[in-house]
C-alpha cells in the first residue's frame, strides 16, 4: 500500500520494516498492545498541518478571515488546546460543547454558539461565558435571547442563520440549507427578512451579520458560490433597512477523502471559490468587505484520526459472504449505519501482504446493520490481526455511544514516536456512574 500526498491516511502514515502501519512514528501494533482496541489514534502533525492549511489558504486570498473549528466533529480538551494554538476559534452547538471548550481554557470570545433549539439555560450559559457570537437560528430564539440579554443589561453580538435554499448534493440526513430543513431562517419565504428586521429592532441584540451552512460533506464547489451569491443579494436588499453585513459565514461542510477513488477538492480550491465569489459579488453589489468566517469540522479532524480494531470471530458463508467481526463497531462509529458511509480498511499488522479475499468487516453490536465496511479486499485475516480504518477522526468518536453497554474507546495523540493518552478507555464502573439505585 502506498501513501500519496493526498491520501485517506494521516500524513505521517508509513509501513515499517515489519510490515506494520505506523502513525506519527508509532507502530500501531505497539499502540494496540499498550492501549488496547478499539483505539482512536490522532496524528498531531496532520491535525496541525490541516489547521495551518485552512488558515493559510483563506487568509492569503482574503486576509480578513476567521477560522472556527466546528467542535461537534470531535472535541476534547487536548484537541481543543492544540487547535486553539493553531489560531482557530470554535463553533459549538450545545452547552456541553461550550462547557468542554471553555474548561479547556478557550476564551468565550473565541466561541460562536450554534443550534436550532438552544435551551434557555444554554443561552444563559453562553451569556455567562461571554461567547463571541450567538448564531440565531429562528424567531423563538431571537425573542428569548433578546429578553435574556435585557434581563442582564447587556447587548449580545449575533449572526442570523439563513437557509438559502441551495442543495449541496450530499446525504439527505446531512443536508441543511434547503427550504425543507429544520435549520435556519428561510430566505425564500420571507421569514429571514422579517427576522433580520426584528433582530435589528431588538434592543439587546447587536446584528453583526449573516450565516449559512449547506450540509456536509460537500464534494462540489458550485453550491458554495450559488449560496454566497443568494445570501449577499439578500443582504444587499436589506441594507437600506439597516442591515450592516460586518461578518459573513458560509459555514463548513468541506469534504475529506474517505475512499481513494473519491478525493475531495483541495482546501485551496474551496478557499478560491468562496473568496472569489465573495470579493466579486460584494464589489458588484456595493457591499463593504465583511469579515469572512469559515467553520470546518470534518475536514480538520477527519484525516488525522485512524480507528484500530482487533479481529475476532470470522463467519464464512460459502458463495454468499465472509464476515470478519471486529471488537468495535456502531458504538464507536455509527456513520456507516446512519448515512451509508463508506470507508477504506487495511490489515494494519500485515501491510505488505497483497489482498487475498473480499470480506465484510462487521462490528460486535447486536444489530445486523452494524457493518463498518462492506466488501473490502484484504489479506486473509485471522483472530488477533489488526484492522485500521482511516479518515475516522470526524463524527465517529464524537457520536460514540454506550449501546450494548460497551465502554467507549480510548483516544491517543501520536507525534514523533510518542503516544499520549488523551482520553482513557471507559470502564464498567463508568457505565453506572449516572445511575441511581435508591
Ligand X SMILES: *Cc1c(COP(=O)(O)O)cnc(C)c1O
Interface region with ligand X, contact rule CB under 6 A, candidates 56-64, 125-133, 162-170, 252-260: 252-260
Give the Cα separation of 303 and 390 in Å (integer): 7
- Put the strands of the sheet holding 21-23 in their side by side order: 14-15, 21-23, 26-27
One residue of 118, 298, 335, 415 binding ligand X per CB under 6 A: 298
Asked if residue 328 binds ligand X (CB under 6 A), the reply is: no
Site for ligand X in 33-72 (CB under 6 A): 70, 72
**Binder to ligand X among 299, 310, 325, 406 (CB under 6 A)?**
299
Cβ-based nearer residue to ligand X, 114 or 133? 114
Total of residues contacting ligand X (CB under 6 A): 18
Select 211 or 364, whichever has its Cβ closest to ligand X: 211
The verdict on 158 binding ligand X (CB under 6 A) reads no
Instruction: Give dist(CA 230, CA 166) in Å, integer.
Output: 9
26 is catalytic: no
CB 363 within 8 A of CB 325: yes
**Stretch of 2-10, 212-220, 346-354, 377-385 contacting ligand X, by CB under 6 A:** 212-220
Q: Kindly state whether residue 83 participates in binding ligand X, applying the rule CB under 6 A.
A: no
Taking the CA atoms of 82, 83, 89 and 92 in sequence, report the sign of the dihedral they define: negative
At its nearest, how many Å lie between ligand X and the CB of residue 221? 15
CB of 8 to ligand X, least distance (A): 17
253 torsion bin: left (phi>0), alpha (psi -120 to 50), beta (else): left
Cα(133)–Cα(156) distance, integer angstroms: 7
216 binds ligand X (CB under 6 A): yes
Q: Does 136 bind ligand X (CB under 6 A)?
A: no
C-alpha cell at 76: 476534547
Q: How far apart are CA 230 and CA 167, in angstroms?
A: 13
- Binding status of residue 252 toward ligand X by CB under 6 A: yes
Q: With beta carbons less than 8 A apart as the criterion, state whether 73 and 395 touch.
A: yes
Kindly tell me which residue out of 20, 114, 133, 335 binds ligand X, with binding defined by CB under 6 A.
114
Among 164, 253, 305, 393, binds ligand X (CB under 6 A): 253
Among 20, 213, 350, 408, contact with ligand X (rule: CB under 6 A): 213
Q: Other C-beta atoms within 10 Å of 294: how many? A: 28
CB of 287 to ligand X, least distance (A): 22
Residue at grid coordinates 463524527: 395
Residue 89 within binding range of ligand X, rule CB under 6 A? no
**DSSP 3-state assignment of 8?**
coil
- Catalytic, out of 60, 366, 405, 432: 366
Which has the closest alpha carbon to 300: 59, 12, 82? 82
Which range touches ligand X (CB under 6 A), out of 165-173, 246-254, 323-331, 360-368?
246-254
- Shortest Å, Cβ 96 to ligand X: 15
- HSE at residue 118, side-chain half, CA atoms within 13 A, is 33
Nearest to 58 by CA among 256, 285, 250: 250
Closer to ligand X at the Cβ: 62 or 270? 270
Whether the Cβ atoms of residue 281 and residue 232 lie closer than 8 Å to each other: yes
Among 132, 297, 336, 397, binds ligand X (CB under 6 A): 297
Taking the C-alpha atoms of residue 57 and residue 266, their distance in angstroms, rounded to an integer, is 10
Whether the CB-CB separation of 182 and 219 falls below 8 Å is answered with: no
For position 264 contacting ligand X by CB under 6 A, the verdict is no
What residues make contact with ligand X under the rule CB under 6 A?
A: 70, 72-73, 91, 93, 114, 213, 216-217, 251-254, 295-299
Catalytic residues: 366
Amino acid at each position: 500500500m502506498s501513501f500519496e500526498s493526498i491520501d485517506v491516511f494521516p500524513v505521517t502514515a508509513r509501513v515499517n520494516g515489519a510490515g506494520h502501519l505506523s502513525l506519527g512514528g508509532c507502530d500501531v501494533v505497539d499502540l494496540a498492545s499498550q492501549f488496547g482496541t478499539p483505539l482512536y489514534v490522532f496524528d498531531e502533525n496532520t491535525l496541525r498541518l490541516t489547521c495551518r492549511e485552512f488558515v493559510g489558504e483563506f487568509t492569503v486570498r482574503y486576509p480578513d478571515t476567521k477560522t472556527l473549528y466546528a467542535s461537534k466533529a470531535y472535541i476534547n480538551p487536548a484537541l481543543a488546546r492544540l487547535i486553539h494554538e493553531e489560531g482557530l476559534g470554535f463553533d459549538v452547538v450545545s452547552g456541553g460543547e461550550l462547557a468542554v471548550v471553555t474548561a479547556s481554557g478557550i476564551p468565550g470570545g473565541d466561541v460562536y454558539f450554534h443550534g436550532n433549539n438552544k435551551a434557555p439555560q444554554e443561552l444563559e450559559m453562553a451569556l455567562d461565558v461571554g461567547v463571541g457570537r450567538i448564531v440565531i437560528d429562528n424567531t423563538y430564539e431571537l425573542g428569548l435571547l433578546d429578553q435574556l440579554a435585557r434581563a442582564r443589561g447587556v447587548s449580545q453580538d449575533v449572526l442570523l442563520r439563513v437557509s438559502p435554499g441551495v442543495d449541496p448534493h450530499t446525504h439527505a440526513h446531512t443536508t441543511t440549507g434547503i427550504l425543507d430543513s429544520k435549520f435556519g431562517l428561510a430566505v425564500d419565504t420571507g421569514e429571514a427578512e422579517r427576522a433580520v428586521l426584528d433582530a435589528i429592532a431588538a434592543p439587546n441584540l447587536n446584528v453583526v451579520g449573516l450565516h449559512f451552512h449547506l450540509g456536509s460533506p460537500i464534494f462540489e464547489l458550485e453550491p458554495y458560490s450559488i449560496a454566497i451569491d443568494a445570501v449577499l443579494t439578500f443582504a444587499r436588499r436589506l441594507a437600506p433597512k439597516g442591515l450592516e453585513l460586518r461578518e459573513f459565514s458560509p459555514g463548513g461542510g468541506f469534504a475529506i477523502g474517505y475512499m481513494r477513488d473519491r478525493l475531495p477538492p483541495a482546501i485551496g480550491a474551496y478557499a478560491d471559490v468562496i473568496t472569489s465569489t465573495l470579493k466579486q459579488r460584494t464589489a458588484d453589489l456595493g457591499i463593504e468587505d465583511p469579515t469572512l468566517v469559515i467553520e470546518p469540522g470534518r475536514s480538520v479532524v477527519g484525516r488525522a484520526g485512524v480507528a484500530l480494531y482487533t479481529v475476532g470471530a470470522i463467519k464464512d458463508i460459502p458463495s454468499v459472504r465472509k464476515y470478519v467481526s471486529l471488537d468495535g463497531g456502531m458504538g464507536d462509529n455509527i456513520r456507516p449505519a446512519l448515512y451509508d458511509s463508506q470507508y477504506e480498511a487495511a490489515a494494519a499488522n500485515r501491510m505488505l501482504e497483497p489482498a487475498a479475499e473480499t470480506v465484510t468487516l462487521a462490528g460486535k453490536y447486536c444489530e445486523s446493520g452494524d457493518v463498518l465496511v462492506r466488501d473490502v479486499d484484504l489479506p486473509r485475516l485471522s483472530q488477533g490481526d489488526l484492522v485500521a480504518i482511516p479518515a475516522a477522526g470526524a463524527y465517529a468518536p464524537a457520536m460514540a455511544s454506550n449501546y450494548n453497554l460497551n465502554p467507549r474507546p480510548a483516544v491517543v495523540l501520536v507525534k514523533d514516536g510518542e503516544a499520549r493518552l488523551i482520553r482513557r478507555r471507559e470502564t464498567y464502573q463508568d457505565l453506572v456512574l449516572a445511575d441511581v439505585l435508591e
